Amino acid sequence: MSTTTIVPTKEELKGFNLDDPQTIELIQHARDSYDADAKLTLWEAVKKYKKAVFWAFFLSTSLIMEGYDLVIITSFYGQSQFKNRFGTAIDPATGKPLITAEWQSGLSNSSTVGQLAGLLITAFAQDRFGNRHTMMAFMTWLLAAIFIPVFAPSLPVLAFGEAMCGIGWGVFQTLSTVYACEVVPPIIRPYVTGYVCMCWGAGILLSSGVVRAVASVNGDWGWKLPFVIQWVWPLPIIIGAYFAPESPWNSVRRGKEDEARKSLKRLREDTPNRDYEVEAALALIIHTVRIEDAETEGSTFWDCFRGTNLRRTEINCVVWAAQILCGNAILGYSVEFLEDAGFNEIQAFDLNISLSSCYIIGGIICWMLFPHFGRSTIYMSGLLLMFLCLLAIGGLGFSTNPNADIAVGVLLVVSTLINMITIGPVCYPIVSETPSGRLRYKTIVIGRFVYNLTGIFNNSVTPRMISALSWNWGAKTGLFYAGTNLLCLVWCWFRLPETKDRTFGEIDLLFENKIPARKFKYTKVDQFAIETAEVSEKAGVAEHVDELA
């Protein structure tokens, strides 16, 4: 347990002119804002920032659309109508058409490639145009791109349509997370960022229900209707984004302090002291951004791999990749997995709905854990429990008992619930809190880029592991992902820091002072200590502070 208090160095304060009375006032305002938010309970914070919570939740609904769209295509691999229309081979066991493992990989990877392009675009668009305009632009893009899969006459055209839609999905993956974490105080941050994951899970649940509902629809409309439903989302979100306040952090980084001030007023309740609270909150943002400017040489992708930012980028990449390597890859192919395990098509779709509902139930349970446990504790506990489930699933792959199929199905539900109580929602506060503010968009983009590359690997090998026409591992696939899960768990023990209840400024100082991951939780930080000591030497400061009080 550390007994040293971490404070800013003079190098980190080179952006401050302590001889300037306005700088003195800004520092005091920043401390006031910090102290005020630190004293809030969860419910007091929600009441004070309910407008911010609303807008964070609203823009996160774009992830419902992304979760729906990304998973719908994998659900089609087990749907009769889709296989009859696009099947490229005949199942030797049943004599019915099927989608080969190669085309499954191709379709899934097409959207992933599009997402990679979208991630690169959003890294620049958010820095230049802000969150709102980026959201509106790519929702409009998606309105047009959806036409391609709806009217696709062949698998190559469908793959192209998935890639074009993927560009928009790549934008939403990072935009909603960053916006949510920047508009609320630290005590609310895990809830709004965890809600991002719940929205993604809600999209998966919706897709499972839609695919089950159209199971009895004959002909091409059985697979077209789920694509058509995608048009429900963009227009309402475009209208909402138009009226939403911009992230004040984004505005300050773009040099638009007046815009940030207006956003801060809209993001909190109207109280007698609101004007002072807004100025204090703005001062805290400016204060933190100035320290970040001193720490960060620039705001390019290359800067994410320099100095202490390299460690932050590493954390983002591994935490994102672990979302798949923890064993979630199997759950994404649950319909086909269950059919290969012996379930009929309708049974598989029904159980898939149960699996998908775990995303919502698990997210709510995770909210209850946030006040009592740290991010890293919840994350590693989830990895350990999923590791045990994967070992059991893999072991059942060697069983000839007919009841083994039922056991596999139950373990898939349990694994999904564990994932969505722990690993799934906790990922989002971790990846949004660990980057520096100036490089937050780009660091999350790099991490999500690695996530999508891991997804390409998953989309390439998992269908072959499961498919009877390829490697035919079946439930034994669980053993492979038990191994990748264990690697992630070992890394987390040594490298994943605890950021619970930390402000962005405190996290910056912990990284800059190279505090080991196991000591993050216990190290004291005072981001105002040096400024207070230096400023107290200035004549008249005590009187000035009394006036502010």
176 contacts: CB under 8 Å, gap ≥ 6: 59, 60, 62, 63, 196, 199
**Pairing verdict, β 524-525 and 97-98:** unpaired
Which of 33-42, 371-380, 510-519 bottoms out in mean pLDDT, i.e. has the lowest? 33-42
Whether 71 is in a domain gets the answer yes
Q: Who has greater pLDDT, 42 or 532?
A: 42
**Pairing verdict, β 89-90 and 97-98:** antiparallel
Which of 1-15, 225-239, 428-442, 473-487 bottoms out in mean pLDDT, i.e. has the lowest? 1-15
Q: pTM for the complete prediction?
A: 0.79
Which of 109-113, 122-126, 354-358, 527-531 bottoms out in mean pLDDT, i.e. has the lowest? 527-531
Section 392-404 average pLDDT: 84
What is the DSSP secondary structure assignment for residue 20, as one 8-state letter? -
Whether 199 is in a domain gets the answer yes
| Maximum average pLDDT range among 1-15, 27-41, 434-448 | 434-448
Q: Who has greater pLDDT, 24 or 260?
A: 260
Q: Where are the alpha helices (DSSP H) in 215-344?
A: 221-228, 234-243, 248-253, 257-266, 274-295, 309-325, 328-331, 334-340
Tell me the residue range of the domain where 223 lies: 40-244+296-501
Number of neighbouring beta carbons within 10 Å of residue 398: 11
Distance CA 348, CA 368 (A): 31
Of 83, 95, 322, 363, which is closest to residue 222 (Cα–Cα)? 83
Domain count, the chain: 1
Q: Who has greater pLDDT, 402 or 541?
A: 402
pLDDT band for 543, please (50, 70, 90 cuts): very low
Whether 114 is in a domain gets the answer yes
pLDDT band for 21, please (50, 70, 90 cuts): low
Whether 147 is in a domain gets the answer yes
Report the amino acid identity of residue 454: T
CATH number (domain holding residue 168): 1.20.1250.20
Distance CA 83, CA 88 (A): 8
**With pLDDT > 90 as the criterion, what percentage of the chain qualifies?**
30
User: Would you say residue 542 has pLDDT above 80?
Assistant: no
User: Would you say residue 17 has pLDDT above 80?
Assistant: no
Report the amino acid identity of residue 73: I
Section 225-250 average pLDDT: 91
Give me the pLDDT at residue 2, please: 47
Whether 426 is in a domain gets the answer yes
Q: Are 383 and 326 in contact (CB under 8 A)?
A: yes
pLDDT band for 548, please (50, 70, 90 cuts): very low
- Cα angle 530, 531, 533 (rounded to 5 degrees) comes to 65
Whether 367 is in a domain gets the answer yes
Which of 64-68, 74-78, 276-280, 374-378 bottoms out in mean pLDDT, i.e. has the lowest? 74-78
Q: Are 139 and 238 in contact (CB under 8 A)?
A: yes
The two tokens of residue 472 are 């035919």
**Residue 524 bridge partners (DSSP):** 5
User: Would you say residue 537 has pLDDT above 70?
Assistant: no
- State CA 470 to chain mean position distance: 33
Q: Coil, strand or helix: which one is 360? A: helix
Give me the pLDDT at residue 140, please: 95
Distance CA 434, CA 315 (A): 8
Whether 3 is in a domain gets the answer no
User: Would you say residue 153 has pLDDT above 80?
Assistant: yes
Give me the pLDDT at residue 545, please: 38
Q: What is the pLDDT of residues 67-80, one digit of tens each?
A: 887 778 877 877 78
The two tokens of residue 523 are 């190290």
**Residue 6 bridge partners (DSSP):** 525
Distance CA 533, CA 518 (A): 30
